[in-house]
Amino acid sequence: MHTGREVLMVNQTWMGKARLAQLVDKHGPAFFILEEHVFRKNLRDLRAAFECEYATPIIGYSLKTNYTPRICKLALEEGAKAEVVSEMEYDLALRAGFPPEKIIFNGPLKPKQALYRALSQGATVHIDSPHEIDLIEKYLSEKNAHPVECSVRCNFPISGQKNTRFGISTESSDIDDAFARLSRLHGCTPVGVHCHFSTSDRSLNSYAERVQKVIDIAQRVFSHDHPCRYIDIGGGFFGRMPQALLDQFPHKIPSYAEYAAVVGERMRAAFPCRDVTLVIEPGTMVVADTMKFICAVDNIKKVGAKHYVTVYGSVHNIKPSGRSRILPSMTVVHMGEEEPVDLHDADICGYTCIEDDILATDFSGAIAPGDLLIFDNVGAYSTMYKPPFIRAQPAILGWDGTQISLVKRQEHSSDIFATYVFDN
């Protein structure tokens, strides 16, 4: 049963209906609110959790998860590096102010020019395939090439995940060959080992497994004379969630402290002097709970015995990857434009023509056209993944606890049409 509420609580501060109505007038019937304090706090708490268990980690914030420039800038201000997987993300990191040495360049496809730029600017490059070692060899053979340091993404099986296509296999001698080749290249120093997995249960066991495997590989390919400088265990962690969302999972969601304990225990055992840096690449973990999606109810209708509430939002706004059935929790703000009607087991439906564009099912409660719906925990992938399908992107508004600022204006049809050729 949804009870509805009069005000929206963001960042422990109450934002009244009058202000919400102004935001709708100014930015349209759908927008995101980015809670900047929450993002800062997440990064600080995460760093503190790993500091307690091992040593100060390097946090490589995963831009793909949400590359809104304001978020990138907050990550930079909080001391994080930028983890990128394309030239576009690399450009964005630079534009947000990350110096190249604070950029980690991952990904399965690094065009030659993009790789050369990253190498010459001193970014951290994580090699994904032997082809990239060929490119590094070519780069180093050119005159004026800068000496480079690089690491290799490892590919190994872990429980609960089907085989991955990323990285170089550690199940054969491929990984040894890769490190041997890199060590032989004049001007190249291998410095670290990387992995990243995204298992569906994001469990503590899977972190125990991955960190141990990466440590074993580091101990296999590095030596006293060529020491390992860092271990990068990627991202893939769960973040914090409101209770209504937690209740939808069939298993317990680990906390920052629990992830840090599992990883830290193994890092301490392997590196008692704590001289090998731990790198983590969180995306979802630090950004998912920093955004809310707010959209207005357009109309309510009945087909047979069932009520349908059509809103200025889509499942593409709140869950574009559609990877599981778990949906963000929703609350209703009564705006008082029309008399609410009491509904039972209604579907809250998106504006698209897709039959299963349903933002919430089994809604029971009072609701009226003009009311606003608030979906929590939509900061990860939602704004990045949404297709320009049927409606353009809503605005993103930043909220620092006192002030609202524009982070991204509402897109218009002209933004969508801008790259098409109309006159041929």
Ligand X SMILES: Cc1ncc(COP(=O)(O)O)c(C=O)c1O
Does 282 engage in binding with ligand X (CB under 6 A)? yes
| Residue 132 binds ligand X (CB under 6 A) | no
Residue with tokens 């202000």: 19
CB of 330 to ligand X, least distance (A): 22
User: Which part of the chain contacts ligand X (CB under 6 A), choosing from 27-35, 57-65, 93-101, 135-143?
Assistant: 57-65
357 binds ligand X (CB under 6 A): no
User: At a CB cut-off of 8 Å and minimum separation 6, what does 164 contact?
Assistant: 155, 197
**Could you tell me which residues come within 8 angstroms of residue 12 by beta carbon, excluding any fewer than 6 positions away?**
401
Pick the closer one to ligand X by CB: 27 or 64: 64
Nearer to ligand X, 284 or 393 (CB): 284
Return the number of the residue (106 or 317) whose C-beta is nearest ligand X.
Answer: 106
Q: Which of 283, 328, 379, 398 binds ligand X (CB under 6 A)?
A: 283
Strand 148-155 relative to strand 188-194, pairing: parallel
Q: β-strand 372-375 against 13-15: which pairing, if any?
A: unpaired
Instruction: State the minimum distance, in angstroms, from the CB of residue 415 to ligand X.
Output: 26
By C-beta, is 117 or 196 nearer to ligand X? 196
Region binding ligand X by CB under 6 A among candidate stretches 36-44, 62-70, 130-138, 416-424: 62-70
Q: Is 281 in the site for ligand X (CB under 6 A)?
A: yes
The residues in 87-116 that bind ligand X, with binding defined as CB under 6 A, are 106
Site for ligand X in 216-275 (CB under 6 A): 234-237
The nearer residue to ligand X, 63 or 294, going by C-beta atoms, is 63
Told to check if 62 binds ligand X by CB under 6 A, we report yes
- DSSP one-letter code for 225: S
Spatial contact of 288 and 379, defined as CB atoms under 8 Å apart: yes
Per CB under 6 A, the list member of 120, 198, 199, 352 interacting with ligand X is 198
Please report how close the Cβ of residue 212 comes to ligand X at its closest, in angstroms: 19
In the complex, minimum distance from the CB of residue 66 to ligand X, in angstroms, rounded to a whole number = 9
| Residue the block writes with tokens 């979906």 | 375
How does DSSP assign 86-133, residue by residue? SHHHHHHHHHHT--GGGEEE--S---HHHHHHHHHHT-EEEE-SHHHH
DSSP 5: B
**Interaction of residue 285 with ligand X, rule CB under 6 A:** yes
Residue 196 lies near ligand X (rule: CB under 6 A) = yes
The end-to-end CA distance of the chain, in Å, is 54
Per CB under 6 A, 42 contacts ligand X: no
Closer of 67 and 351 to ligand X (Cβ): 67
Residue 418 CB, nearest distance to ligand X (Å)? 28
Minimum CB separation of residue 424 from ligand X in Å reads 38
> Packing angle between helix 69-77 and helix 87-96, nearest 10 degrees?
60
Q: Which lies closer to ligand X via its Cβ, residue 123 or residue 296? A: 123
Task: Point out which span in 61-69, 305-313, 350-358, 359-367 binds ligand X (CB under 6 A).
Answer: 61-69
**Least distance in angstroms from the C-beta of 61 to ligand X:** 9
Cβ-based nearer residue to ligand X, 65 or 155? 65
Query: Tokens for 367?
Result: 């609701």
Q: Please pick, from the candidates 20, 30, 65, 75, the single residue that binds ligand X as defined by CB under 6 A.
A: 65
The rounded Cα 251 to chain-centroid distance in angstroms is: 21
Binding flag, residue 284, ligand X (CB under 6 A)? yes
Answer for which of 36, 53, 78, 83 binds ligand X (CB under 6 A) is 83
Question: C-beta of 194: minimal distance to ligand X in Å?
Answer: 8
Q: Please work out the total of residues on this chain that contact ligand X, with binding judged by CB under 6 A.
A: 17
* Dihedral pair phi/psi, residue 193, rounded to 5°: -130, 135
Answer yes or no: are the C-beta atoms of 133 and 181 closer than 8 Å. yes
Secondary structure (DSSP) of 250-292? SSPPPPHHHHHHHHHHHHHHH-TT--SEEEE--SHHHHGGGEE
Query: What value, to the nearest 5°, has the Cα angle with vertex 151 and ends 148 and 153?
Result: 145
Q: Minimum distance from CB of 252 to ligand X (Å)?
A: 18
For position 164 contacting ligand X by CB under 6 A, the verdict is no
Q: What is the DSSP letter of 300?
A: E
Residue 230 DSSP code: E
Contact 330, 359 (CB under 8 A): yes
Radius of gyration of the chain (CA): 24
35, two tokens: 């809670």
DSSP state of 145: P
Residues 381-410 that bind ligand X (CB under 6 A): none
User: What length does the chain have?
Assistant: 424
Specify whether the CB–CB gap between 148 and 188 falls below 8 A. Answer: yes
Binding site residues, ligand X, CB under 6 A = 62, 64-65, 83, 106, 196, 198, 234-237, 281-285, 380
